[in-house]
Structure 1
Amino acid sequence: MTGNGGGAGPARLGWLDALRGVAALVVVFDHSSATLLADFRRELMPEFNTSRFGIMVFFLVSGYIVPASLERRGCVRTFWIGRVFRVYPLWAVVVATVLGLGLCGVVEIRDFGGQSAVTVAVAHVTMLQELLGTPSLLLVLWTLSYEMAFYLLVVALFTVRLHRRSATIAVTLAVLAAASVAAGAALPASALSDRVGTGPLILVGASVMVVAICCASATSPVLRLFGGVLGALPALVLVPFNGTVPLWEGLVILAVMFLGTAVHRAEHGQGTWWRAAGTAVVVVGCAVGSAYRYGDGELFTRRGWIAAFLAAVLTFGAGLAWRRRQLPLPLTGLGTISYSVYLVHPVLLAVIDGTVGRARRDDPALEAAFFAVLLPLCVLTHRWVEVPGQAWGRRLASGPRRKPVGGPERPLLPFRRPCERTRRWYP
C-alpha cells in the first residue's frame, strides 16, 4: 500500500509488486463498482468482500517488507525518514486536491461531526485519524492509520530487541481477537474519544507520536529506548479501544501484518518454515472463527469477509511460491504505481459523483473507461510525486558520510547494525 521498503533488488521484489498490483486492482474495482456497477456489486459483496481482500493482501505485503526495511538499515531515524518521504508527498497532493475541488464545489467534503479544522488537520497529519475519532477525508485513508500503528509497533519491538518474535506476536494478537469475540467484548466505534473527547485525544495522541518518533530516532540509547516504548502506546491503546472496525478485526489486522513478518523471517533463515506455517494456521483459524462468531454464529452474515480473507492469504501464498519466477511486466509495473492507484482513484470517483453522478444501470464499458483514465494518471503521479519524494528521503537519510571514530567498524552482530547516516551502532 505504501510501497516497498527499499533495498532489495527488483527481481527479489517482483512478486511483492505483483501482489500489490492485484490488490490495487481489486480495491479500485470495489470502489468504482459502487458508482458504475452498483447492481453487480450488491450481488457480489455478500459472497466476496472485494475491499477486504485487497487490503488484507496489502497488509500481508507490508508486514513482509516494512520490518525488513528497518532491520536492513539498522537505524530508526533513516527508517522514519524513508517512511515519511515514501508516504506523505502523494498523500499531501491528494488531500490538497480534494480540499481544492471541495472549495470549487466539484466534490463534496464529508462531514466531520462538528470537529474544528485544526483538530481534523492534526489528526490527518499523524495518519492516525481513523484511530483518533476523526473520519477520514477519503475512505481509503483508514487503512493508513493501521499501517502507522504497525510502524510504531515495529520500531518499539526493534528498540527493545524483540523484533524477531514476529510469530509469537502474530499468534498472541490472533488469539486475543478470538478471545474478545468469545467473551463478547464489543466496544463501540471510537469508544475512547467519545469518553475523553476527540480534541484532547488528538492532542495527546499527536504529541505522544511526535515525541516517540523524535526520541526513538535520537543517538542516545536511553532516549531511543524511551521513544520506542512510548511509540507503542498509541498503537496498543488506539487499535483495540478506539478503532472504527470491530475490536477483533483491528487485532486481526495487526496479526496479519506480523504474519507477513514471520514469513519473511522463515525465508531468510531467521525462523523455520514450520513455525511460519503454524503461525499462519493459528492466525487464519482465529480470524475466520472470530468473523463467524461475530456474525452471531451465522456463516451467511460474514461469509463475504471470510471468503475474502481466505482468498487474500492464499493469494499471498501463491505469490510467495512464485517469488523466484519471472512475472508479467504489466503486473509488476502496476504494483510499482499501486500507492498512486490506491490514493488517486477515490479522488477521480468523487469527481464523477460530483459532476455526472452515478450510473443508473451497470455499464462495464464505463468501468473499463474509468481504469483507462486512472492508470495513466497514476503513472504521472508516481513519476512526478512519488519518485521525487523518495529521492529526497534518500538524500536526507544518507547525509554526510563520516568515518567512525575509534578505529575500524565493529563486526555486524545479530541485533546490532550501524546507522546509515551516523555509523553509530544501534540495537
Structure 2
Amino acid sequence: MAGASALPTDSGSSRANAFNLLRLLGALAVVVEHSWVLSGHGTPLTPASGIGAGGIGVGVFFLISGYLISASWLSDPSPARYTLRRVLRIYPAYALVVVLTALLLGPLVSTLPAADYFAASGTWGHIVRGLLIQPVSYTLPGVFEGLPYAGAVNGSLWTIWVEVLCYAGVAVMGLLGLLRRRAVLAGLVVVALAATTVIHLTGYAGPLVPLVVSAFAAQPLAFFALGMLIRELRWVPPVWLTAVLLVVWPLLWGTPPANLGAIAAITCVTFLVAFRAPAALHRPTGSYDLSYGAYLLAFPAQQVLVLLGLREPWLVLLATTAIVLPLAALSWRLVEAPALRLRRRKPVAVPP
C-alpha cells in the first residue's frame, strides 16, 4: 500500500544519535495512516499537504537509511560483507512474517475451509513471491475479503523492494567511487525531487522504471538520496531553518510545491532531532530496535482488528500499538538480533 513502510538499518550505528527514536516514530506514523485507511476513514492527513502520515514515516526511514547505508559502505567497502550485512538485517524477519502470515494467520481468518485454503495455488504463490521480494503478493485466498481495504494482507511490503534497490544502488555507486562526489549526490537529489514532483502534480501511478519499480517509489528514493547527500555534507539543519520550514509547509498546502515543502520540513526535522535530541531520548526502547518488527507486523494486525469489527480509527491505532510492540520485541530478541550477530566483521590487520 502506498505510504507504508518501515525500513531497517544496522542497529549498532544509532548509539550517538536519535535514529532509533526516529525509526520508531516513523513506524508509528505508518500505523496511524493505516488505522484510518484500513478502517475505511481515508487518510488522516489531507492530500493537500503533499504527503500522508504514512509517507512521513516512509520519509524518515529512507532518510536514515540513505545516511547510514552509504556510511556503512564507506566504512567497509567490501561487496561481500556489505551484502551479507544487508541481507541479515532485512531478510530473516521479513521471510518469517511472510511464511507465518500465509501458514498461520491465513487459514485462521480465511473464508475458505482449511483444506481448500492450503490446496489453493494462491497460498503457495504468496509465499514464493513474498520470499523473492519482487513482485510481492498482497493477497491470500479468502483472506480479508469484504473489508474497507479488501483483500490486502500486508500492503506495507512494497517498500522492501525499493529499499533493496537502494542497497544495490549504494553498492554500485561505491564501486564506481561516487559516494564521495557531492555533485553526483546533489544531481541524484535534483532528479529524484523532480520525478516525485511530476508524479505529485499529475497523479501518475504507472511504472517509474518499467518492470522494476512503480511511481510510488519516487518519493522514498528522493528521501534516500537526500540522506546520502546530508551524510556527505555532514550537515545538521539549524533550528531556525527547521522552524521556518514547519511554518512554510502548511502555507503551501493545496499548491503545486506542497510536496517539496513536506520533503524539506521532514528532512530538517529528522536530522535536527537525530543529532540534537538529548541523549536520554536516543534509545527509547533500550537495546531493542522495534521499528522494523512493528512495520512488518502492523498491517496484518490492523486488518484482523477491522475484521473483528473494530472500525474507530483511534481504537484501531491504540489496539495495534498494544499488540504489535510486544511482538516486535520478540522479533528483535528471537530473530533480528541473532541474525545480526552472524555478520562478518571487517578484518583487522595484524601488526607485523
Same topology, TM > 0.5: yes
For residues 85 and 163 of structure 2, the distance between their equivalents in structure 1, rounded to whole angstroms, comes to 14
Q: For structure 2, which runs of at least 5 residues remain unmatched after alignment?
A: 1-5, 113-119, 140-152
RMSD: 4.1
Query: 2:332 is matched with which residue?
Result: 382
Query: 2:36 is matched with which residue?
Result: 33
Q: Do 2:65 and 2:224's aligned partners in 1 also have CA atoms closer than 8 Å? A: yes
| Residue 240, structure 1, aligned to residue 240, structure 2 | no
Query: 1:128 is matched with which residue?
Result: 134
| Residue 88, structure 1, aligned to residue 91, structure 2 | yes
SS state at 2:284 partner? helix
For residues 37 and 187 of structure 2, the distance between their equivalents in structure 1, rounded to whole angstroms, comes to 35
The offset of 1:253, in angstroms, is 2.9
For residues 185 and 352 of structure 1, the distance between their equivalents in structure 2, rounded to whole angstroms, comes to 35
Deviation track 1:242-278 (CA, whole Å, cap 9, x = no partner) reads 46643xx6344323212111211222xxxxx49x99x
1:317 counterpart letter in structure 2: F
Matches within 5 A, 1:287-306: 299=254
| Residue 257, structure 1, aligned to residue 224, structure 2 | yes
The offset of 1:367, in angstroms, is 3.2
The offset of 1:179, in angstroms, is 6.8
Equivalent pairs: percent with the same residue? 23
Query: 1:315 is matched with which residue?
Result: 269
2:228 counterpart letter in structure 1: T
Query: 2:284 is matched with which residue?
Result: 331
User: Are residues 158 and 92 of structure 1, via their aligned partners in 2, closer, same or farther at CA, if it must alter by over 3 Å?
Assistant: same
For residues 203 and 32 of structure 2, the distance between their equivalents in structure 1, rounded to whole angstroms, comes to 31
For residues 256 and 20 of structure 1, the distance between their equivalents in structure 2, rounded to whole angstroms, comes to 14
1:73 counterpart letter in structure 2: D
Query: 2:117 is matched with which residue?
Result: none
For residues 180 and 82 of structure 1, the distance between their equivalents in structure 2, rounded to whole angstroms, comes to 29
Q: Do 2:77 and 2:174's aligned partners in 1 also have CA atoms closer than 8 Å? A: no
Matches within 5 A, 1:109-128: 123-128=129-134
| Residue 56, structure 1, aligned to residue 65, structure 2 | no
Deviation track 1:261-312 (CA, whole Å, cap 9, x = no partner) reads 1211222xxxxx49x99xx9xxx9xxx9xxx9xxxxx936995x56653442
The offset of 1:357, in angstroms, is 3.0
User: Are residues 159 and 107 of structure 1, via their aligned partners in 2, closer, same or farther at CA, if it must alter by over 3 Å?
Assistant: farther
| Residue 4, structure 1, aligned to residue 20, structure 2 | no
For residues 385 and 171 of structure 1, the distance between their equivalents in structure 2, rounded to whole angstroms, comes to 38
User: Are residues 108 and 160 of structure 1, via their aligned partners in 2, closer, same or farther at CA, if it must alter by over 3 Å?
Assistant: farther
Deviation track 1:377-425 (CA, whole Å, cap 9, x = no partner) reads 211121111111112x32xx249x7978xx96xxxxxxxxxxxxxxxxx
Query: 2:184 is matched with which residue?
Result: 168
The structure that has the greater radius of gyration is 1
For residues 195 and 313 of structure 2, the distance between their equivalents in structure 1, rounded to whole angstroms, comes to 44
Q: Please identify which structure carries the higher helix content.
A: 1
Query: Match for 2:159 among 116, 129, 143?
Result: 143
Provide the TM-score with structure 1 as the length reference: 0.61
1:345 counterpart letter in structure 2: A
Q: Do 2:288 and 2:332's aligned partners in 1 also have CA atoms closer than 8 Å? A: no
The offset of 1:80, in angstroms, is 0.9
Deviation track 1:209-237 (CA, whole Å, cap 9, x = no partner) reads xxxxxxxxxxxxxxxxxxxxxxxxxxxxx
Q: Do 1:107 and 1:353's aligned partners in 2 also have CA atoms closer than 8 Å? A: no
Q: Do 1:24 and 1:342's aligned partners in 2 also have CA atoms closer than 8 Å? A: yes
User: Are residues 337 and 43 of structure 1, via their aligned partners in 2, closer, same or farther at CA, if it must alter by over 3 Å?
Assistant: closer
Matches within 5 A, 1:155-194: 155-165=171-181, 168-175=184-191, 178=194, 189-190=206-207
Deviation track 1:169-208 (CA, whole Å, cap 9, x = no partner) reads 3434533652797699997625xxxxxxxxxxxxxxxxxx
For residues 326 and 363 of structure 1, the distance between their equivalents in structure 2, rounded to whole angstroms, comes to 33
The offset of 1:338, in angstroms, is 0.4
Matches within 5 A, 1:222-237: none
SS state at 1:85 partner? helix
2:220 counterpart letter in structure 1: I
2:190 counterpart letter in structure 1: A
The offset of 1:365, in angstroms, is 4.6
Q: Do 1:15 and 1:332's aligned partners in 2 also have CA atoms closer than 8 Å? A: no
1:145 counterpart letter in structure 2: W
Q: For structure 1, which runs of at least 5 residues remain unmatched after alignment?
A: 191-238, 268-272, 293-297, 409-427
